[in-house]
Amino acid sequence: MASGVLIVESRPASPDEATAYHDWYDNKHLPEILQIDGFVSIRRLAAVDGDSFVVIYEIEGDVEAAKTALGLAQASGMMTRPEGVQLTPPPTARYFTLVSSAGTNA
């Protein structure tokens, strides 16, 4: 079970950039993230009433250690630069730790 998550909300820079945006996420970014210690699964969701997307990165173990590992990966240049992503305003990103869970898949 995940001990925490990173949730990022973003959107394509424009309708013309949507293909590049989705390609970058699915074929470059997500595989890169899964190579980082602590990140174990990822789900992408589309807003029902808009053009934004949310990515839920599930983290096992120490959330702060995973956050640090991601920062080091980004700083070292091992991560590709975002393609087609709206940067103004920038995507929102927040880390959360597990407080409680319920349900059959919890």
For 4-97, CATH number out of 3.30.565.10, 3.40.50.300, 3.40.50.11740, 3.30.70.100 equals 3.30.70.100
Length of the chain: 106
**Which amino acid makes up residue 58?**
E
Confidence band of 106 (pLDDT split at 50, 70, 90):
low
Provide the mean pLDDT of the chain.
Answer: 93
Count Cβ atoms below 10 Å from residue 77 Cβ, excluding itself. 8
In which element (H, E) is residue 3 found? none
Separation between Cα atoms, residue 56 and residue 2, nearest integer Å: 11
Q: Provide the whole-model pTM.
A: 0.89
Structure tokens at 15: 């309708």
